[in-house]
Amino acid sequence: MILHLDTHVVVYLYAGERWRFPSRALTALDHARLVYSPIVELEVQYLHETGRITAGPTEIFPYLADRVGLAPDDTPYVVVARVARTLSWTRDPFDRLITAAASASNQPLLTRDKTIHHHYPAALWSDQPV
């Protein structure tokens, strides 16, 4: 299974905070090929610039590529943008593009975001089957 990761999931993994994940999410993380939308890199950069996290994308993504095999999703941006146009349930461009990347290839997205869960049936966390 390929599993897309939301930004907070990437940050938790980098910080070694596996305790934040419910058991079903941990099972998914341990048994899937992990990918992220390239927009996650930009959101990580914003979080770093605003001081919400101490490491930036140049530290986080190579580290996770080495440790857990995390790789960027290769869905063409034009496809992701087309899908994102249909996701009118959010005004957050990061959530829209991250969800669109997973949706474009009909793959699950690991996120705790309740709004995404409400609108994207393939979102995973504690209350979703793996």
Q: What is the pLDDT of residue 128?
A: 45
- Is the whole-model pTM more than 0.85? yes
Average pLDDT over residues 69-98: 97
Contacts of the segment 40-44: beta carbons below 8 A, 24+ positions apart: 40/5, 40/6, 40/7, 40/10, 40/94, 40/98, 41/72, 42/94, 43/7, 43/94, 43/98, 44/7, 44/10, 44/11
Would you give the end-to-end CA distance of the chain in angstroms? 10
Q: Is the pLDDT of residue 129 over 70?
A: no
Q: Is the pLDDT of residue 24 over 70?
A: yes
Average pLDDT over residues 49-69: 98
- Containing 91, the helix (H) or strand (E) segment is none
> Hey, what domains does the chain have and what are their CATH numbers?
2-124 (3.40.50.1010)
Binning pLDDT at 50, 70 and 90, where does residue 130 land?
A: very low
Strand partners, 4: 35, 109
* DSSP three-state, residue 108: coil
